[in-house]
Each structure stands twice: as structure tokens, then as C-alpha cells.
Amino acid sequence: MLELDKILPVTKVKKNLLDILKNMSEDHSTITLTKNGKPVSIIMTPDRYDALMETIEILADPAIMASLAGSADDFREKRVFEDVNEKSF
């Protein structure tokens, strides 16, 4: 994961919100807002939020997790096949 997270005090965010939002959209960062040095909120881009929610949905689905575990077992046991019709670049 890229290390784009920032920690900013609420007072700085209030003063610079438009610039902060512009920068967030460019670097896809997540910002933790603090008040008196303690985290109170998180701001993230919609793309990061959507990715996070998708990850949570996948992790909460027993069928998907079982399938992924089976795939990991297949890979570990070398039960993986190369597609002979696929071209290598």
C-alpha cells in the first residue's frame, strides 16, 4: 500500500479545506483529522472508500473466502496450469 496517509489537525483542515481536497484527489490520500492531538475523523477519496467497502464485502463473504483459500492451496501444491493459448509478451 502506498504511504499517502496524512494526519492533520482540524484547525488546519478548516483553514485549508479546498486545497486539501484538491491534493487528495490528485494523490488519492486518506487524511486523519485530529483534535487536541487525538484522531476524531477520517477523510478519504471516493475511490479509496469504494475499494475499502469492496474489500470488506469480499472478506465477509464465506464463499469467496473459501474459494480464495482453495486457490491458495492449489498454487501452493503446484496445481496451476498455464494457458497454452495465451500469448506471452
Encode pLDDT of 17-38 as tens digits: 999 998 888 888 899 999 999 9
Same domain, 36 and 50: no
Q: Distance (Å, rounded) from C-alpha 1 to C-alpha 48?
A: 12
Mean pLDDT, rounded, for 11-19: 92
Average pLDDT, the chain: 87
The pLDDT, as a whole number, for residue 3 is 44
- Tell me which residue range forms the domain holding 20: 1-44
User: Would the pLDDT of 4 be above 80?
Assistant: no
- Tell whether 7 is covered by a domain: yes
The pLDDT, as a whole number, for residue 2 is 41
Same domain, 7 and 21: yes
User: Would the pLDDT of 89 be above 60?
Assistant: no
Q: Which of 25, 22, 61, 17 is nearest to 41 (CA)?
A: 17
- Tell whether 68 is covered by a domain: yes
Q: Which of 8, 3, 84, 79 is nearest to 43 (CA)?
A: 8
65 Cβ neighbours under 8 A, 6+ residues apart:
58, 59
